[in-house]
Structure 1
Amino acid sequence: MNKDRSSDINIELGMAYLQEKNFPLAKIKFLKAIHLAPQHPASLYSMAYYYQKTHNIKLASQYYKQALSIAPGNAAVLGSYGTFLCQRKKYKEGIKYLIKASAINTLTYQAITYEKTGICALKAHLADTAYKYLHKALQNNPKNTNIYLNIAQAAFLTQRYKLASQYLKYWHINKKRTPKSTRLELNIEEKLHHYSRVAGLKLFIASLTSKNT
């Protein structure tokens, strides 16, 4: 068995321990993965992810940058670092790395990277960019119902009100209605001048508010 494969096995075990919140054992496995294959990008960005999850931002950033220095064209490294930056509210920088990742990514992960780019762009108030990449994500994987609320929001912000309504209807068919989705629906219906629907939604939102007080 080559060292990269041995490293990957330890990474898989580390991720399993991390999911179980067994942080000491997870760290041992990630460190072993690096020891076995110190130039293996996956071992480095997995260690970075461990530090990210345990809120050691300085070390997380250090390991992500180390992985990038070894594999600057690796889609997984670029995507992981881009997601990390977006979570730290460094949206524009994060989007840059995510776009690089999506450009070289395989079809298996491309839709996920597009979706992450779109969500990051929404948080950065870059509505056109958000719509562009969420639409790409939807084209790659139309069965991913999780996309529909975000793309409805992006469509609304880019004045695609009819499309926003269609996306949101699909969300409400497949997912549980939320206060956020209902308020978005109200905003869309106001823009479409569906005033009878607006009145009903306002009453519904008022009833939700009264239940929570």
Structure 2
Amino acid sequence: MKFEYWAILGIALLQGCSSMHSRPADGVDEEKLAQIYATKGTAYLAQGKLKVALADLRKALALDPDNAVAHESIALLYEYLGKAGKAAEHYREAAKLAPDDAKILNNYGRFLCKEGRYDEGLAFLEKAGSDKLYDERWKALVNAGICAQRAGRQKQAETWLRQALALNPESSDALAAMARLMADRGNWLSARAFLQRYEAVGQPSESMLRLGYRIETALGDTSAAQGYLDKLHRLFPDSQPQAD
């Protein structure tokens, strides 16, 4: 089957003078060819080769407008490029074509939350996070927790973040979100514990160093607070710790 797919791809690539919207040669399965372009485009996107990724994904959709993978990948690309309108259009189509694909629902829900459409986003994320066949459903639960946190639904956020950590105790995103949540509540010891767990698995970032400074200052540990401040100034010399 793999040989057949790449043979089809070879035929298509030899048609160098044809436009992207022209039909492939007789006998070529358009859906299979579209899937090849979708797979290639998605791989190029993961490698950061955006121009060639966009070209392949457009070819995939020209051949098969109902290819959900191509819609999702091109939505991710447009989101990265800051073209929210185009991203929303393709995410919406991907979710319409594959309403039970948890990965697509997770990405669409995350995008909607980023755009401030919390209720819509959480509906998709909750569905993705409840799919026990989704190998990475903890990602959807993390995104749901962060979305709920942004929406001011702290109790709901904690529930989802703890569910995510039960599935993946080393999720740096979940640990960071829990540290922030505990700090916002003034639960400084818990905030410190989650931050320390984050530091064991995640990379030092400006926001997390500022959070560490804030936590240790609140706990009265001036030495630890100074340690975060020194590291903050060393790694991010323009940072202001009070901005967290």
The structure-2 alpha-carbon separation of the partners of 1:150 and 1:39, relative to structure 1 and needing over 3 Å to count, comes to same
Instruction: Determine the structure 2 residue equivalent to 1:38.
Output: 65
Local SS of the residue matching 2:197: helix
Contact kept? 1:127, 1:158, Cα under 8 Å:
no
Structure-2 separation of matches of 1:190 and 1:31? 52
Instruction: Determine the structure 2 residue equivalent to 1:70.
Output: 97
1:102-122 CA distances to partner (integer Å, 9 max, x unpaired)? 123524120111112222233
Q: Which of 145, 169, 182 is the aligned partner of 1:118?
A: 145
Contact kept? 2:216, 2:225, Cα under 8 Å:
no
Structure 1 gap segments, 5+ residues each: none
Instruction: Determine the structure 1 residue equivalent to 2:113.
Output: 86
Identity %: 24
After TM superposition, the score normalised by the length of structure 1 is 0.77
> Max radius of gyration: which structure?
2
Instruction: Determine the structure 1 residue equivalent to 2:208.
Output: 181
The structure-2 alpha-carbon separation of the partners of 1:8 and 1:116, relative to structure 1 and needing over 3 Å to count, comes to farther
Q: Which of 193, 198, 220 is the aligned partner of 1:166?
A: 193
Instruction: Determine the structure 2 residue equivalent to 1:11.
Output: 38
Instruction: Determine the structure 1 residue equivalent to 2:87.
Output: 60
Contact kept? 1:134, 1:151, Cα under 8 Å:
yes
Contact kept? 2:209, 2:232, Cα under 8 Å:
no
32-41 or 61-70, which deviates more = 32-41
Structure-2 separation of matches of 1:91 and 1:14? 30
Structure-2 separation of matches of 1:94 and 1:26? 26
The structure-2 alpha-carbon separation of the partners of 1:160 and 1:74, relative to structure 1 and needing over 3 Å to count, comes to same
Question: What is the aligned residue count?
Answer: 209
Are 2:168 and 1:141 equivalent residues in the alignment? yes
Local SS of the residue matching 2:116: coil
Q: State the superposition RMSD in angstroms.
A: 3.1
Q: Which amino acid aligns with 2:44?
A: Y
Q: What are the equivalent positions in structure 2 for 1:126-137 lying under 5 Å apart?
A: 126-137=153-164
Instruction: Determine the structure 1 residue equivalent to 2:13.
Output: none
Q: Please report how far the alpha carbon of residue 38 of structure 1 lies from its aligned counterpart in structure 2 after TM superposition.
A: 2.9
Structure-1 separation of matches of 2:156 and 2:40? 37
After TM superposition, the score normalised by the length of structure 2 is 0.69
Local SS of the residue matching 1:44: helix
63-72 or 129-138, which deviates more = 63-72
Structure 2 gap segments, 5+ residues each: 2-28, 239-244
Q: Which structure ranks higher in relative contact order (CA pairs < 8 Å, sequence separation ≥ 6)?
A: 1
Structure-2 separation of matches of 1:182 and 1:6? 48
Are 2:214 and 1:200 equivalent residues in the alignment? no
Structure-2 separation of matches of 1:128 and 1:3? 49
Q: Please report how far the alpha carbon of residue 149 of structure 1 lies from its aligned counterpart in structure 2 after TM superposition.
A: 1.9
The structure-2 alpha-carbon separation of the partners of 1:53 and 1:176, relative to structure 1 and needing over 3 Å to count, comes to closer
Q: Please report how far the alpha carbon of residue 135 of structure 1 lies from its aligned counterpart in structure 2 after TM superposition.
A: 1.0
Structure number with higher helix proportion: 1
The structure-2 alpha-carbon separation of the partners of 1:3 and 1:129, relative to structure 1 and needing over 3 Å to count, comes to farther
1:125-171 CA distances to partner (integer Å, 9 max, x unpaired)? 33222221111111111133443222221233345544332212222
